[in-house]
Amino acid sequence: MNPLPTPSPIRDMVQARFPDGRAFDAPRGTPLEAFIDAAKLSVNGRIVAALKNGRLRELSHPLREDALLVPVTTADSDGGRIYRRSLCFLMIAAAAEMWPGKIITIQHSMPFGGYYCECSDVHCALPDGLQQLKQRMQALVDADLPIKQVRVPLDEAVELFRQQGDLEKANLFAKRRKDYLTMYELNGVRDYFHGFMVPRTRYLNLFDLRPYKDGFILQFPRRHQPERLQPFEDEPRLARVFQEYDDWLRIIGLPSVAALNEALANGRLQQTILVAEAFHQQQLAQITAEIASRRHEIKLVLISGPTSAGKTTFSKRLSIQLMAQGIFPVAIGMDNYFVDRSLTPRDENGDYDFEALEAVDVPLFRQHLKQLMRGEKIEQPIYNFHTGQREEGPTLQIGSDHVLLIEGIHGLNPKLVEGIAPEAMYRVFISAFTQLNLDKHNRVPTTDTRLLRRIVRDAAHRGYSAADTIARWASVRRGEKRHIFPYQNNANLFFNSALVYEMSAMKRLAEPLLLQVEPGTPERVEANRLLAFLQWFDPIPTEGLELIASDSILREFIGGSILETFEPWRS
């Protein structure tokens, strides 16, 4: 029989436990930062937040009950976002002090670790101005100033944004249901940021500023090397994609989420959808025209891109456009060229790594490509996934009006097409490169677009829960960085598959899936983050989804695609 509980005084102390088994006591209300400092944990990167009993919390969060604390570092997804967000606030606070009335806009990310920014006064981005801004940012870091949360009455916050000339924020929050807004304050500057911050400026000592095009780059460390800045790498074609999208948003008058919400409320839903789809059609027409202009030399079209970029729909739409030009694509299934199961490489966990290039019989694949391009006949393999062996398939021969079409993660890897003349190939890299930002200071990461697409598609077509998809996401991203992104610059052209209205379209489908993720799990932390930014998008009514074209890339994820059963000639 268990002993009966006995009365005891209420403790004024709380205990923080760490995964290594150690525990620390402190008075109730002590911030998490104090426990982290006392524990002197050895981690990769710097600790910028913590999971308190499975829930993400700022280091300034007061501990009022016993809890398990798991450090969140700049080597983690959430930690990297917290560092970047806090660094942006540091820059904005320093700029507000130096250049009152000037507005800095954070435009888009750079692959080497940075944000491209623009200032309403072009003189701010000149080398001398940036050097002064960098020195002021460093002075604020050295001063170790607090970054504090402040709860502001909503009408006061909206008026503040209007006075600052930040009408995007003013319009976005004017419709907020709660009568207050939680803002952050640094050195007397107040602003809204979507997500948590570091507690003090001393955490933000790793950054750089450099002029770039009409603005400048705020550089920060990347997750895989959180203690150093990556070398600067210019990406002119990627920059052109961002610039084209930004120009297009300005043309249609949708620079932010607030503008999109207003367009939907004012009866511009159909116009927004049609013009967004026309943007895709323009890109497709350009690619088709380039291939058609070289129809006598191009015999191989290769398409690659990360997960949920829309590769399948893009490939089918491109096939249709080519057929309209009298060019007939023949799709080659790379999966049929897998090596026998016993020869398949294994990953670091000992599992079969079907994403590795070595999982494909590359010499045979190259041989067959060359034979087909010479007009010769080949005997195609068919891979039996049950036995793990290749079997003989039908013969194939193409004519002068055909092109070979290959779509897959290795499509831009030069080893796949070694020995084939470059002029005989046309290569496309497709991804959702851009996304509508919440406002001038709050970006929506483009990776989140693909994650939400995959969550919705996995639930509808593969029977996976949102938790399943989120749990696999880190592994998916590792595979992309290993097999896909290193070769993107081999492409002749980048296709931007983002659609300005898609968050509003997916909101009704994604929110119920995210709310089903079990509380207290790592996947729920990510689900909460996605739910938090989706709240700012007004949803498209269910009947409004019927306005989305049946061949839209978005249909690949939300369902209803007319192209689902369409196939070009397939080997």
CB atoms within 10 A of CB 69: 22
Work out the pLDDT band at 72, boundaries 50, 70, 90: very high
Q: Which CATH architecture has domain 78-218+226-234?
A: 2-Layer Sandwich (3.30)
Closest C-alpha to 88, from 10, 222, 201, 245: 201
Percent of all residues in the chain with a pLDDT value above 70, rounded to a whole number: 99
pLDDT digits (tens, 9 = 90+) for 31-65: 999 999 999 999 999 999 999 999 999 999 999 99
552 contacts 277 by C-beta, under 8 angstroms: yes
Residue ranges of domains in the chain? 13-73, 78-218+226-234, 238-332+402-570
Cα(188)–Cα(92) distance, integer angstroms: 12
pLDDT digits (tens, 9 = 90+) for 480-526: 999 999 999 999 999 999 999 999 999 999 999 999 999 989 999 99
The predicted model gives 210-237 an average pLDDT of 92
pLDDT digits (tens, 9 = 90+) for 383-415: 998 899 999 999 999 998 999 999 988 999 999
CATH of the domain spanning 13-73: 3.10.20.30
CB atoms within 10 A of CB 528: 15
**pLDDT at residue 326 in the model:** 93
Query: What fold is seen in the domain 238-332+402-570?
Result: Rossmann fold (3.40.50)
Closest C-alpha to 317, from 287, 294, 276: 287
Angle between helices 502-515 and 257-265 (to 10 degrees): 100
Percent of all residues in the chain with a pLDDT value above 90, rounded to a whole number: 75
**pLDDT at residue 570 in the model:** 52
**pLDDT at residue 571 in the model:** 47
CB neighbour class for 13 (10 Å; exposed up to 12, middle 13-18, buried from 19): exposed
* Residue with token string 């700012």: 536
Work out the pLDDT band at 1, boundaries 50, 70, 90: low
Global pTM reads 0.89
Report CA 269 to chain centroid distance, whole Å: 25
pLDDT digits (tens, 9 = 90+) for 519-533: 989 999 999 999 998
pLDDT digits (tens, 9 = 90+) for 350-389: 888 888 899 999 999 999 999 999 999 999 999 998 899 9
Cα(244)–Cα(239) distance, integer angstroms: 9
**Alpha-helical regions (H) of 22-126:** 32-39, 77-98
Q: What is the 3-state secondary structure (H, E, C) of 396-435?
A: ECCCCCEEEEEECCCCCCHHHHCCCCHHHEEEEEEECCCC
CB neighbour class for 270 (10 Å; exposed up to 12, middle 13-18, buried from 19): exposed
Cα(11)–Cα(30) distance, integer angstroms: 14
Two structure tokens written together for 451: 């994650």
Fold match between domain 13-73 and domain 238-332+402-570: no
